[in-house]
Structure 1
Amino acid sequence: METRRLQVLVELARLGSMRAVADVSNTTTSTVSQQIAALSRDMGIALIEPQGRRVRLTPAGRRLAEHAVTILAAVEAAHHDLSPGAEPNGTLRIAGYATAIRGHLLPVVAELAVSHPRVHVLIREHEPAEALALLAEDATDLALAYDYNLAPAAEDPTVRATPLWTARWGLGVPDDGDADASEGTTLDVFGRFETHDWIVNSRNTADETVIRTLASMVGFTPRVTHRADSLDLVQGMIAAGLGVGLLPLDTIAAPGVRLIPLTAPIVEMRARAVARQGRLKWPPLALMTTRLRQRSGFRE
């Protein structure tokens, strides 16, 4: 049913005549009568009955008018709650990868618990492909995802990606004391580890794409033998001599691991907050995106 018809019914219950409703609504009695008739058809029951030369509400009409007051108040509250200028309020569902959650999202959630206690955040840990699938299913409101400059994410017109932070990555190798292995360009470094086993992510293919792209520029196919989602586990595998793999340059190398910077070309991870088109005006989502950007060094 249309809420404008409910509004007409409420006014009829309050004022008692179609003429009075027409006067306050700046319309005609014919229009008022049409709106009530249409609402009767929607409900499948008579809402008015003759009373001399006028009409009055039937018992069903009076009952619906009581419901209409509550319904219209709820609709008005929803408009106020969802308008861009409203105070953020509601449950915000976020899916993202562990590093982003731990290093960026959790501090923002702690801040909002104080500054905006009516915003409740539900967090699910997922790699980008998984988080974006949840977003497509409308099972989450915001996806924290990433790609690499050498493995850019495909364009998707149904979502809007907001850039967050970037991070340079290097190659994690066993610390065998060979300082010369860290010299040269990215391609020089990759060439030195051509015969090694390679470790890639078990739940996301982006870093494997980067490795295969750089290896192809050198002229070899990397032997991918191990897959792990946790960066701590990747370091453990490297220290155990199981292979080499990409790691963030700002990470603290574990004992037995050496981190070699990659230059010319650089390897850069690009974090982004992804939401469905048209959703970023929702106050809780807009607030979270703004705070994440500010924490990343962006200023609105």
Structure 2
Amino acid sequence: MLNNDRLLFLAELARLGSMREVADELGTTTSTVSQQLAVLAREAGTPLLEPDGRRVRLTPAGRRLARHAVTILAAVEAARLDLDPSAEPAGTVRVAGFATAIRRSLLPIVAALPARHAGLRVLIHEHEPAEILQLLAADEVDLGLTYDYNLAPAGLPDTVEATPLWSTPWGLGVPTGSTVDGDVMAAFRDAHWLVNSRNTADEDVVRTLASMAGYAPRITHRADSLDLIQDLIVAGLGVGLLPADQPTIDGVALVPLRRPDVLMRAFAVTRLGRRAWPPLAVVLDLLTRGAAAPP
């Protein structure tokens, strides 16, 4: 019989990476962590750790059991709350998201959590959607904040669940004073195009729009930062997609894109079967309620 307390040590080691960090997180000693994991290995009947220089790392069996441990502990927590609805959810929710969603949706929640749920903690990692899905698949995060565009819908694996959060229109960022008559995309047929360096979604949108105007866009510069994209536009190095709900800097004008409209869509993504874990359920509820509130 596997002991839940020892499964927690294993799950925390998989998340944090060292026995010292596990000991600090759980308020114990590295010796206790080591002893408990040794007992768990005997209970499991297989080695769970192997030397890695001066540290240890999980064996393949250890990694598999750690993934099961997260599910088991979540189920135990859900059962505890079901039997005692007044119990306060407690735990650490690991979130990976793109920068805009972190600022717009997550940070207001994190700021309010101590007053509402003192036992909850949120760890934030900034990533692009493809990276987020890899982290979810590896069980290195509990929640992903991802995005796609209506003209470049993301194909999600069947191992995750996605909840729509919000959408926002995007336009074309161009140098102030640019002449735009008639078809916007046709007007910039000969322009250099700026796209994201870490995700291909906006490039797919640009290529789709350009193909509808009868040409292939000349994509030259790539940058992950929207601020840098605007600086490149001011420098005369190209044009690129920008969100319509955020101000542009001096020297950049935003031209609306119509027929078709361009919409970025944000989602909260979790692994299948994980949403019932109370700490994650609380964060998801706050996210969806925040998304439904007027901006």
Instruction: Using structure 2 for the length normalisation, give the TM-score.
Output: 0.71
Gaps of 5+ in 1: 4-41, 44-73
Matches within 5 A, 1:13-52: none
Matched, 1:254 2:255: no
* SS, match of residue 270 in structure 1: strand
- CA distance in 2 between counterparts of 1:108 and 1:251 reads 21
Query: What are the Cα deviations for residues 63-87 of structure 1, in whole angstroms up to 9, with x where unaligned?
Result: xxxxxxxxxxx99975655659453
The answer to whether structure 1 residue 225 and structure 2 residue 226 are counterparts is: no
Counterparts in 2 of 1:97 and 1:2: CA distance versus 1, 3 Å: closer
The answer to whether 1:245 aligns with 2:240 is: yes
1:133 and 1:298 map into 2 onto residues whose CA distance is 30
1:272 and 2:267 are equivalent in the alignment: yes
- Residue number in structure 2 paired with 1:96: 97
Structure 1 position 132, deviation (Å): 1.1
Matches within 5 A, 1:73-152: 78=77, 80-81=79-80, 83=82, 85=85, 86-152=87-153
Does the residue aligned with 2:139 lie in a helix, a strand or coil? coil
Q: Report the Cα offset of residue 155 of structure 1.
A: 3.6
On the 8 A contact 1:83/1:283 being kept in 2, the answer is no
Contact conserved, 2:74 with 2:276, CA < 8 A, in 1?
Answer: no
2:195 paired residue among 190, 197, 200: 200
Are the counterparts in 1 of residues 75 and 277 from structure 2 also a CA contact under 8 Å? no
Shift >2 Å, 4+ stretches: 74-87
Q: What is the total number of aligned residue pairs between the two structures? A: 225
**Cα distance in 1, alignment partners of residues 275 and 234 from structure 2:** 43
Change in Cα spacing, 1:265 to 1:90, as seen in structure 2 (3 Å) is same
Aligned pair in 2 of structure 1 residues 298, 153: CA closer, same or farther (>3 Å)?
farther
User: How much is the aligned-residue C-alpha RMSD, in angstroms?
Assistant: 2.5
What one-letter code is carried by the residue in structure 2 that aligns with 1:267? Answer: V
Tell me the distance in 1 between the aligned counterparts of 2:209 and 2:74: 56
Larger radius of gyration, structure 1 or 2? 1
State percent identity of aligned pairs. Answer: 56
Deviation at 1:106, TM superposition (A): 0.5
Distance 1:154 1:170, change over 3 A: same
Taking the aligned partners of 1:277 and 1:75, their CA distance within structure 2 comes to 13
Cα shift at 1:284? 1.1
Is this contact kept in 2: 1:83–1:282, CA < 8 A?
no
How many Å apart are 1:114 and its aligned residue?
1.2
